[in-house]
Structure formats: C-alpha cells, structure tokens
Structure 1
Amino acid sequence: MYRLSPFFWLPPLFWSLTAQAENATYQADPLVVTGSRYQASGWQLPFSVNRIDAEQATLGKPGVNLSEALGSVPGLVVQNRQNYAQDLQISSRGFGARSAFGIRGIKLLADGVPLSSPDGQGQAATFDLDTLERIEVLRGPFASVYGSNSGGVIQLFSRDGEGPPKLSLDTSQAAYGTSRTRVAAEGGNDKAGFIINRSHFETDGYRDHSGAILDKTFAKLTLYPDDVSKLSLSFSELDQNDTQDPQGLTWAQVQSDRRSAAPSALAFDTRKTVDHRQFALNYERSFAAGTWQSTLYSGTRQVIQYQSIPVGAQTPARQGGGVIDFERRFHGIGNRWIQSFDLGSSLLTVTTGLDYDYSRDDRQGFENFVGSTLGVKGNLRRDERNEVTSLSPYVQAAWQLGKLELQAGLRHSQVEFDVDDRFLSNGDDSGSVTYRELTPTLGASYALLPGLNVYASWGKGVETPTLNELSYSGPDNSFGFDLQPATSEQVEVGLKARLAEATSLQLALFQIDTDDELVVESASGGRSRFQNAAQTRRRGVELALESRLSDTLRANLAYTQIDATYSKNFTSNGRLIESGNRLPGIPARTLFGELAWQPLDWFSTAIEGLYRSQLYVEDSNTAKTAPSYALFNWQARFEQKLGAMTFNQVLRIDNLLDREYIGSVIVGDSNGRHYEPGPERAWYVGAGVQYQFD
C-alpha cells in the first residue's frame, strides 16, 4: 500500500509558505522555453520545469558526462554506469528505467535538435558540455507535447559566441588512468558569433575491460542578419573507437571482485565503435504578428558492436549473430509559429507546429566467432534496411488572465516502422507497422501571492516500442509487428514559491497510470522478447529548494519519493509477476544536497551529497536488490588573472568516504548480471588558461 506520509505535512507547509511569501521581495525569475515553446518564467507555468545554468552544471566538474549536471533536479535518476559503451542511464519519474542501453523513453534535445531517434532510443554522449549555456528539464503531463516517447524532456542549449575573441586550453588528470584535454576559441559581436571546441578524453576505467577513448568536436556560427532575425549553423562530431564493455556482474562476482569484468566480456572482447556526425540549422525571425522558428538537421551514425552472445545460441535460424554493424542516416525538420493576441485584460499565445524526423539503418549482423576464435566478425546472419519515420503536428495555447494562467496542448503522433529484409535464407521479416496516438494536455496555475503560485496539470502520453524491442519479439524471433505502444495518463499538482529575495521552492505531487507497459516476455541466448502485459502506477512527491544563504554561500536540495508498482498480474520468463510488485530500476527515495561557498573572487569550494534507496533489479523482486547508499563529493576551484590571461585550477574528490556501492543496475538480465559497481574514492585535478584579445 502506498505510504501517504509525505502528504501529511503539506497543509502546515502551505500556510508557512504563504506567510513567508506574503512579505518577500524577489529577483527576476529565469526564463525557460521547454514546455511552453516561448520564453516564460518557469514559476508561472503549470508544470515542473527546472533550469540549470552552465556555472552550476560545469564549474569544478570533469565536463564529461551529463550525469554531473543533473543531480539537483528532483524526479530524475541519473546513473553513470562507468561504461562508455552503453552510455548513461536516465529515468524521469520512472520513464526510461528499464532501458538496457542508452536513454529510452525520455526526449533528448540539443539546440532544438533531437538526440533521440524517432523510435525513442537516444544517446547523451554526443552533446558537448564545454559549450553549454543551460539545461532545461521538464517532467510531468506536459512532456507529451514533445511527442511519442517523451516521459520527460531534457533540453540542452549551447551558448552563442559573444564578446572579444578568446582562446582556451584545459587539461586534467584523474584516477583510473583518466585524462582529458580541451582546446577552444570563441567570440562575437552584434553581427556574428562563433564557437569552436575540440576535446580528447581517455580512461582505463574503474573496472577491468572498461577503457574508452572519446574525441568530440563542436562548431557553431551565429549570424544576426538584422534586428529581428537570428541564424545558427552548427556541426558536432563524436569518434569513439573500440570502447570496451565490461558488462554487468552477478552479486557473487561483485562480492568476489567488484572491479572485474564479466568472464564473457573478456572471452568475446566486448566492445563498441561509434562515429557520429551531425549538421544543424536554426532560424528565428520576428514579425509584427508573431515569431517563426525553424530547425533543420541531418547526420550519419556508424556503429560496430561486439556482443557476448554464446556460440551455441547463434544456431537458430532467425538469430542475428553477435556482432551489430549498422550505418544510420537521419534528418528532420521542425517548424513552428508563435503568435500572441492582446485581448485587453488578458493575453493569449498560440503556438502551432510540425515535427518530422526520419532515420534509415542499413543493418547487418554477423557471428562473433570464426572457428574457435571468439570476438571477431564471422558469417553474415542478418542484412536489412530499417526505416523509422515520425510526423507530428501540434497546437498549444497559453491564456494569461491576470493571476490565472491556462495552458492546453494537442499533438498527433505518428511513428512508422518499415523493415526490408535482404537476408532471406532464414525467412522474410519484411513488413511495416504504424502507431498513431492523439495526446492532449491541460494545465492551470494561479498566483495566490506575488511569490506563491499553485498549479495543476493533466495529460496523456504514448511510448512506442523501439527497433531493438521489435526486432525479436515476433514468432520464432521474427520482427514483432504485433507489439502495441504503451499509453499513460498523468496528473500533477504543485506549488512554486519565493520565500525571500534569494530562496525558491518547488513542490509537486504526481500520479502516472500506464497501460500496455512493455515488459520482457522471455530472455535467452542474449536476446529478449517483449510483450504488452503490464499495467503500472507511479505516485510520488518531488521537492526542490534553492537558496543563496548569503553573498558567499549557496545551497541546493532535491528530494524525490516515488511508489512505482505493477497494478496487474502478468507472466515473464515463465514466472507470474504479481500485482503490487515494485518496478525495477526506480529507487523509492532519492536525496541530493549541495553547499557551495565562495568567500573570495579567486576561490570557491563545494560539497555535495547523494542518497539513493535500494533498487529492485527484476520484476519478481526476488533477486538481490542493489543496496541503498550515500555518497559525498568535494571540489575546490582557484582562479588568477594576469593581464589578458585567466588561469584556473580544480581539485575534486568523488566518493569522499570511500564507500562501496552499486552505481547502476541492468534490469532483468537473464544471466543475473544486474550489477554495475561504482568507483571507490577517486581524485581529479585540472588546470586551464584563457587568453582574451582586446
């Protein structure tokens, strides 16, 4: 039964906030565009949206993983797997917690360009944190205004080149053979701006067989043709060659040697190579009647991945082998018109738009052995063309009526999968399936006081299967064209308050009911079959508090409690999963806190703490849970100015108390290799110099 304890203190908290907010004075609220699609104060919007600026996200941090920047956002679970072959694990109110690799069920955007493919599978590694201006994180019902597979939205924005030209060089060394070097140039004026950034990262990894080398390039040119228009051209590149994959461990292996790799990873030399390149164009122009915004993008992605599927398991006719080899070409366009109508005592803003996204994979599968030699490319076992197309028109409206603001949205999502099987000796898996869903959203907020808003919102969402989930979910490991999308209904109520000039609080309560949740039907031979079998319910409370305690001291606090359970019996891998079982991969409680102190212009220091409750790792809830843990990290930053040059140094220690913990879990692994241990105490030192021209 759901524990209602967090709700008992809401009435006294509400009256306390009312008393404080009534006499408070405030600074201007930071603006966001995520959710509403036009610049608005996040405090006035009837949904949960957080903004993290570059300074909070990157200063004193390695700048390698998105997980470094998102700890202060409630509702998010961000797990650095210490495995660059599989990317981060990110879930939002439980959406995406089951993802076996990459990010699934959460919409990732960078400068308006999807980092998620049309089927909902995304990768965070392609974004360059060195060029970050801000991150906006949207949770709750209004995430569905971004289409299918949008249980939450994480939108990253790169900065525009501004001011006199400057050159930067940074280098760092860290534990476990980790190093990083970055060189950058940027600048601009009222006519144009530019940024060029290049970084090289390599590590031996905390665990055996977890080495990685990542090279990233980002370039952006921003043009201002006149006072009412802006054009941005950008290029990004990721080269990730032979990144080792240590895989998960069983609990017995964790107890024996937490830094070890799975034996199968060593036997098959599991590894992954990624070459990703992307071009994007953003154009915005203001007219007397409104604003036109357009985004175009195109790119390629090549992946070769060596898996550890046993030799004997590759004998079935429709088994695709143990080596994945594909080349993806993708492109898309997003257009929207934003228009405001002054109705005298109220303001109505209407946004209409159309998003189109397309990807095509030329995909092959090969055996991962030749004779008795493992971990090499063998005979062809799969050859097909996979196309995914997404087309989504939408309309949103915001009506400001004094203290009351109403928001509504309606989006029609259409996602089409088309498979052309060219390897016919084992049967023809060609075919297509199209998913269509209409997702409405409604919300309202009311300003009880100048610094106290209450709000409520409701919406429906849809989550289609990914290509990976469809691939072997049909009869005899064929393509699963009968799988249906999961549909959800969300309700959220909350408040946003300014308690004083420099203190803000957000509180949200939510409930999410999902039908036809995609779950594992069976798993064997390294392949999982999926089914629509489950109904789930997620209820929770989120609390975020930010405060500048003094001119030199700043504090952040984020707390999440979520009760995520199955609400219908189903069968998985031949076992009955009963109603009331906990959803794996979703901690019941998460607490993050940060205290930052800057007593001098040239010195700052901060300490942060993270608590996470235990994690269930599979649907029956009988396997060993990943234990709860608490971690503390510390960092200090120094800066010196000498004429046109600025020098900086960073010292950081993660896991200050040297705790042993499980950093992330692999949900439902058929071999029981659920656990990915996090690193012990780890040091990091960095130094940089910047030269600014006159």
Structure 2
Amino acid sequence: MKVVAPTCFAMLLPSLLGLQQTALAEEAPLILDPSVVTGSRSASRSFDLPYSVDSISREQISDGQLGINASEALSRVPGLVVQNRQNYAQDLQISSRGFGARSAFGVRGIKLIADGIPASTPDGQGQAATFNLDTADRIEVLRGPAATLYGSNAGGVIQMFSRNGEGPPRIGAETLVGSDGLNKHHLSAEGAVQGAGFVLDASRMDTDGYRDHSSARRDQTFAKLNLEPDDDSKLALIYSSLEQNGTQDPLGQTWAGYKADPRSVSSNALAYNTRKSIDHQQVGMNYERYIGDATLQVNAYTGRRSVIQYLSIPKGTPTNELGGGGVVQFDRKFYGGGVRWMQPIDSVPGELMIITGLDFDQSEDSRHGYQNYSGNTLGVKGELRRNEIDTARSLDPYIQANWAIDRWTLQAGLRHSTMEMDVDDQFLSNGDASGNKTYQKNTPSMSVMYAFTPELHGYVSAGKGFETPTQAEMAYAPGAIEGFNFGLKPSESTQYEVGLKAQVNNSTRVNAAVFQITTEDELVVNASKDGRTSYQNAGRTLRRGFELGIESQLSEQWSANLAYTRLQATYDSNFSNSGKTVEKGNYLPGVPQTTLFAELNWKPRDWVSTAVEGMYRSKIYVEDTNQKHAAPAYSVFNWRARFEQKVEHWTFHQTLRLDNLLDRQYIGSVIVGDGNDRYYEAAPGRSWYAGAGAQYSF
C-alpha cells in the first residue's frame, strides 16, 4: 500500500502560511484565543496557561461532520491518537501520549468528563459514545503533567461542554444518509423562555457497518435546563441516555483474513453471533454561587448502565466451562459528586487564586457470567458461571494555586487519589473469589510560564501520576480458573513538559511542546486466550515526544489547521511475558510514532464553507515483542462542504462529505495483544455522506 509521507504535508505548510500577507489581522476569529477551564478550573485564555490544552469549537465539531463519533473532532488535537474501530460494540480507542493505547474496548487511562460530570468510572473505564456531539458547545483536551490533578487514570483529560439554551426558542430536524447503510435522524429544540434556558435533543443512528456482522442502532437523548435562581447563582440540570440493542461485534481479523477481504470477520463471530446491548441513563446537577469574591461550585450525579455482551469464547474451553463464561452481563448503579471553593487572595502582588475541592465517585456492578451456548445451540445465554458484586469508589481531596504576577504565571497543585475495588463473590459457596484492594497516592503538579513578549510565552511543567488497573483488567488472575488479580500494582509516572506558545500577527496561533514520561510498573497484556485476558506489570517504559499545533486565519476566506505528533514510546527494561522476553527498546504496541492532521478550509461566502482534510499515521505494532505484522502506515484525505440558507424564521442547511478520497485500503485500528492473532480492524474505503436539516425560530 502506497502512503504519502508526512513531509508532503510539511512542504505545504510554508505555502499556506505564505498567504498570511493577505490576512485581516483585525478580523481574526476568537477561536485563535479560546478560553478554557480544564486545568485551571476557572475560565482562562489557553494562551496564558502553562501546559498543553486545546479547545475544539462548536463549529469545528459540527461543520461538515456527521456528529456520530468523537474521532471526527479529536483528530485535530496533537498528542491524541483516536482509532475508530468501525465497531460500535467496542467504541473508539483513544490514547493520549501513549496512555490508553492498550485498551481492547472503551477508553482507559484518560479522564472523560461531560458538563463537569465524570464519564469515566472510578477505576478508569469510560466510553466516548456517551458524549452527545449534537449538543456540544466545545471539547477541551488537556495533556501532560497538569492532567494528574484530575486523579488516577488521568494520562489526559477530555472534557465536553454542552451549550446552554439561549436566544429565542427554536426547533429543528435533520437527516443524514451515507455509505454502508448509514442513516441518522435528529430532532432538537432549544432557546430561553423567561430566563430559563433549555436544550432538548433526540437522535437515532442505524448502520449496516463496513465490515460483515457490524450493524448497529444507537438512540441518544439529551435534556438540559439552565437557570439563574438569583443574581449570584447559576443552576444546570442535565439528563442523557444512550441505548444500543443487539449491536453486532465483528471482532478483530487476522492479517491473512484482512488481506483476503477487508470486510471479512472471524468465523467465530458468526457462529456465536457476537453482539452487545447497552442501556445507559444518567442525571446530573451543576450549581455555582458567588459569595463575595469567592465562588462555590457543586455538582452531583447518578445513573444506571446495563450491558449484556455475547463473546466468541469457544465451547469446551476452561473459561467457558469453569470460568466466567462466554456471556457477560452487568447492571451498574453509579453516583457521585464534587464540591469546589475558589478564593482569590488580594493581600499578595498579582492575581492569586486558591482552589480546594473534594470529589467522590462510586460505581457498583451486579455482574454475571454465563456459558454462551445451550446444548448444541451457540450464541445464547446458558448456565451461570459467575455471580458477584464489584464496587469501585474514590474519594479525592485536592488543592491548587493559580498565581499570575508580572510576566510570570505559576500553577501548582496536589491531589490525594484513592481507588478502592471491592469484590463480593456470590457464585462459589466458599466465596473465595472475593477480595478488596485499595490504591492511593499523592499526585503533585507544578507549571511555570514566562511571557517573553505579549505574543510569545514559554513554560515548564512537571508532575507525578499513577494509573490503577480497571475492573476488567483485574477480572482474571494469570493461570487461574477464577479469581481477581489483586496482585496488580498501579503504574506510576513522572512527567516533564517544556513548551512555547506564540501568536503571529493576531491571526496565527502556534503551540509547541516537548515532553518526557517515565513509568514504573506499566500495565500490559499478560495473556489473551479463549476470551480470557489477564494483565501484568512490566517494569519501566519511556515516552519522549514532540507536539506541534498551528491554527491560522490565512485571510478572510481561508483558514488552516495542523496537528503533528512525534512520539517514541518504548520499554525501558526487559520483562517476561507468557514465557517470552520483551526486550528493552521494543516499542509499545498501539502507539504510532508519527501522526499528522492537516486541514485547509475555504469560506467564500457566509452561506458556504468547504474543506479538505488530510491524515497520516505511521505503522503501529500490535504486541509487545514487535514480531507480529505491524499495521502499516497510511495517509487518507477527506472532503466536506456545508451550505446554509436563511429565509425569515427558517434556517436550512445541507452537508456533503467524501471520506478516503483516494480509496486507500488500510488498518484503521488494532486490538493490542490479542491471543488469537486477530489484531486488525479494517477501515472503510471511499465513503459518501449527505445530509439536510431545517430549523424554525419563533
């Protein structure tokens, strides 16, 4: 497969920036200097913050995008690798500077937050599908040492904020169709009435899937009510739900199977009808009150999540006969909240803010496992093989100081992170699979920035963090029939970052950072066989990298974006894995060394915009020895356009999109350490999408 080297994009950049001479500096959009709250906890210009943090605007999230997967927006952020598995049963794989790359399903190692409410459980499991992109106002992404102030499993923070209901009430409808049987229908209503803002949203997405046995239906609903009870307070009430019934799981594919037919699936996927159903609902509250110069912030949430998943574990294997079985079912209750006090200090030079807070989160799973057959019938719920209550909880106090004085900005903080995992085995009469494990650690972070000029800032950031194993990673002890792996230790990291932030002629923003992360007791796959995946600690790892982000308003009609990451993620010591020696210097699987995103946008009139996107990703190793066939490097190009018309109270819009313009065949994502050598998940060839919508404003 022929790929375009990243240097091709780099060669284009000077010519794009050469258009700068025609830029209208006075009319550069505010997107070049957004305000963010992630990291500092209060609204601040990202340019003034001494760490890597990016904000993706509402326009970037929605303009010409499908509004289905967070990968549509997150690919433009340096340091992030977002792999769309083309598998709605397993969700996106997201890694930040290498954290989270080992995840076989869902998101690990990164804190997901929506409207201040965690979308990750206390043990660090999350699902980006719970983000409702149709209601998103912005997404903020924090990377590096400052992320450790958000607790364990915070190799990075991805925080989505929904928009508030504002302006005259309006209702809308939208429909989208595309390749592989995709269709999405969307209804919305929002606005403000007598000071109360509201946002209501409901959508249904259906797809046959690119690969065989990968059809899905997703229903999402969202409701938000924002109020101002008095002049000194704000209140937001939020409800959201996600429902997926019978989502087919195509599993990974072997290299030979992928080369023979990229759309093909393993025979086990068909024999056992691998699939997953999800029913997720939650409610939350955010309250903010100004008390003199100080601010009090309180949030609380609760919800439930039910999942049943049919796996392809073969009949007759120990896991299916005596272990946890081939059908996983759990009913989760989760709740929590946080309180934060933000106090400015006037008795010192400059501007000093002291922030103290306490976060509490708990999830309780009633978890069952069943054989995935009954008699000779495969892919059905059979005999009970697992019955337990798994409880994960965290209670984390923290303190943080933000101090700006003259040209200096200092941010420092300390969090005491705790994660307790409790297992109550109700299947075995002696309950010998029960147990309890508590992980805790103080995670400090400090960042310092100096303003060389008003347009050029430099900073240094350092911090310590730790990442606990998740419930799924503790579920099996190596070599055992049943029982949790309470012997797993958390991985502990030391992170350093040095960066520059520059604004050129008020129309171009450049962020550059170099970083180093050393990790002890890295969590890796120990063995994955017959549906049973166990984990182990693997000594030291070393990550060194460079990130570059450029966003430029080239002229009144042209804009460009570039996100480049170079990451060398290697094992820094030898270790033994399933009888094989993994040598120092081997690359961490699932982590490409080079990623590049580039975009050129043209908006000749207010009612039309069009853009070309390009993405390059270098090869990805699939397991620790680096001996199996790596997923090859690839380059893809996409095109999109959006049109809008306004007629009195009506606003109409149309969307056209073509992905993978050159019809490349490539591996879009990998399953790290799969014991059946089914590492590879193919991405679609050339795909088309078309949508239209209308909105009426009262």
What band does the TM-score fall into relative to the shorter chain? Answer: over 0.9
Partner of 2:683: 678
> Post-superposition shift, 1:338?
0.5
Q: Is contact 1:421-1:430 (8 Å) kept?
A: yes
Q: Is contact 1:384-1:421 (8 Å) kept?
A: yes
Separation in 1, partners of 2:387, 2:41: 41
Partner of 1:75: 79
Separation in 1, partners of 2:283, 2:572: 44
Separation in 2, partners of 1:47, 1:151: 14
Partner of 1:597: 602
Partner of 2:163: 159
Question: Where does 1:342-357 land on structure 2 (aligned, <5 Å)?
Answer: 342-343=346-347, 345-357=349-361
Instruction: Give 4+ residue runs of structure 1 displaced > 6 Å after superposition.
Output: 24-28
> Post-superposition shift, 1:521?
2.1
Deviates more, 1:197-206 or 1:569-578: 569-578
Separation in 1, partners of 2:543, 2:506: 35
1:390 aligns with 2:372: no
Separation in 2, partners of 1:597, 1:289: 44
Q: Is contact 2:29-2:553 (8 Å) kept?
A: no
Partner of 2:648: 643
Partner of 1:3: none
Q: Is contact 1:508-1:542 (8 Å) kept?
A: yes
Name the aligned partner's letter for residue 384 of structure 2.
Answer: L
1:123 aligns with 2:127: yes
1:40 aligns with 2:44: yes
> Post-superposition shift, 1:432?
0.4
> Post-superposition shift, 1:72?
1.2
Partner of 1:496: 501
> Post-superposition shift, 1:27?
7.4
Q: Is contact 2:269-2:312 (8 Å) kept?
A: yes
> Post-superposition shift, 1:473?
2.0
Structure 2 unaligned regions, length at least 5: 1-6
Q: TM-score with structure 2 length normalisation?
A: 0.95
Give CA deviations for 1:347-372 in whole Å, capped at 9, x if unaligned. 11010000000000000000000111
**Distance change >3 Å, CA 425–CA 345, structure 1 → 2:** closer
Separation in 2, partners of 1:316, 1:63: 39
Separation in 2, partners of 1:99, 1:353: 30
Question: Where does 1:49-128 land on structure 2 (aligned, <5 Å)?
Answer: 49-128=53-132
Q: CA RMSD in A?
A: 1.7
> Post-superposition shift, 1:667?
0.4
1:187 aligns with 2:154: no
Separation in 2, partners of 1:290, 1:359: 32
Name the aligned partner's letter for residue 273 of structure 2.
Answer: D
Partner of 2:338: 334
Counterpart selection for 1:573 from 574, 578, 589: 578
**Distance change >3 Å, CA 27–CA 130, structure 1 → 2:** closer
1:665 aligns with 2:667: no
Separation in 2, partners of 1:44, 1:148: 26
Partner of 2:148: 144
Partner of 2:660: 655
Q: Secondary structure at the match of 1:254?
A: helix
Q: Is contact 1:627-1:661 (8 Å) kept?
A: yes
Identity in percent:
57
Q: Is contact 1:58-1:68 (8 Å) kept?
A: no
Q: Is contact 1:191-1:225 (8 Å) kept?
A: no
> Post-superposition shift, 1:425?
5.0
Q: Secondary structure at the match of 1:226?
A: coil
Name the aligned partner's letter for residue 85 of structure 2.
Answer: R
Partner of 1:168: 172
Q: Secondary structure at the match of 2:147?
A: helix
Q: Secondary structure at the match of 2:474?
A: helix
Partner of 2:406: 402
Separation in 1, partners of 2:72, 2:29: 27
Name the aligned partner's letter for residue 654 of structure 1.
Answer: D
Partner of 2:264: 260
Give CA deviations for 1:358-403 in whole Å, capped at 9, x if unaligned. 0000000000001111100000000000000111000000111111
Partner of 1:373: 377
Partner of 1:540: 545
Deviates more, 1:375-384 or 1:313-322: 313-322
Separation in 1, partners of 2:384, 2:593: 45
Deviates more, 1:75-84 or 1:634-643: 634-643
Separation in 1, partners of 2:528, 2:251: 16
Q: Secondary structure at the match of 2:493?
A: strand
Aligned residue pair count: 675
Q: Secondary structure at the match of 2:48?
A: coil
Give CA deviations for 1:165-203 in whole Å, capped at 9, x if unaligned. 000100011000000000000001572100100000000
> Post-superposition shift, 1:318?
5.1
Separation in 2, partners of 1:316, 1:670: 16
Partner of 2:636: 631
Question: Where does 1:158-237 land on structure 2 (aligned, <5 Å)?
Answer: 158-188=162-192, 191-237=195-241
Separation in 1, partners of 2:652, 2:430: 63
Deviates more, 1:337-346 or 1:55-64: 337-346
Partner of 1:245: 249
Partner of 1:295: 299
Give CA deviations for 1:450-508 in whole Å, capped at 9, x if unaligned. 01000000000010010011111266242111111000000000000001111000000
> Post-superposition shift, 1:315?
5.8
Give CA deviations for 1:577-633 in whole Å, capped at 9, x if unaligned. 000000010000011000111101211111100000000000000000100000000
Structure 1 unaligned regions, length at least 5: 1-5
Separation in 2, partners of 1:190, 1:504: 40
Name the aligned partner's letter for residue 662 of structure 1.
Answer: I
Q: Secondary structure at the match of 1:61?
A: coil
Separation in 2, partners of 1:363, 1:672: 28
1:587 aligns with 2:592: yes
1:690 aligns with 2:695: yes
Q: Secondary structure at the match of 1:130?
A: helix
> Post-superposition shift, 1:343?
3.6
Separation in 1, partners of 2:449, 2:606: 40
Name the aligned partner's letter for residue 449 of structure 1.
Answer: T
Partner of 2:611: 606
Name the aligned partner's letter for residue 214 of structure 1.
Answer: R
**Distance change >3 Å, CA 70–CA 149, structure 1 → 2:** same
1:521 aligns with 2:523: no
Partner of 2:312: 308
Q: Secondary structure at the match of 1:447?
A: strand
Q: TM-score with structure 1 length normalisation?
A: 0.95
Q: Is contact 2:653-2:692 (8 Å) kept?
A: yes
Q: Is contact 2:512-2:547 (8 Å) kept?
A: yes
Name the aligned partner's letter for residue 490 of structure 1.
Answer: Q
Counterpart selection for 1:485 from 481, 490, 495: 490
1:434 aligns with 2:434: no
Separation in 2, partners of 1:677, 1:317: 32
Give CA deviations for 1:673-692 in whole Å, capped at 9, x if unaligned. 00000000000000000000
Q: Secondary structure at the match of 2:515?
A: strand
Deviates more, 1:318-327 or 1:80-89: 318-327
Q: Is contact 2:334-2:363 (8 Å) kept?
A: yes
Name the aligned partner's letter for residue 339 of structure 1.
Answer: Q
**Distance change >3 Å, CA 434–CA 40, structure 1 → 2:** same
Separation in 1, partners of 2:685, 2:213: 17
Q: Secondary structure at the match of 1:689?
A: strand
> Post-superposition shift, 1:30?
1.5
1:323 aligns with 2:330: no
Q: Secondary structure at the match of 1:94?
A: coil
Q: Secondary structure at the match of 1:252?
A: helix
Separation in 2, partners of 1:105, 1:139: 12
> Post-superposition shift, 1:317?
7.1
Q: Is contact 1:523-1:573 (8 Å) kept?
A: no
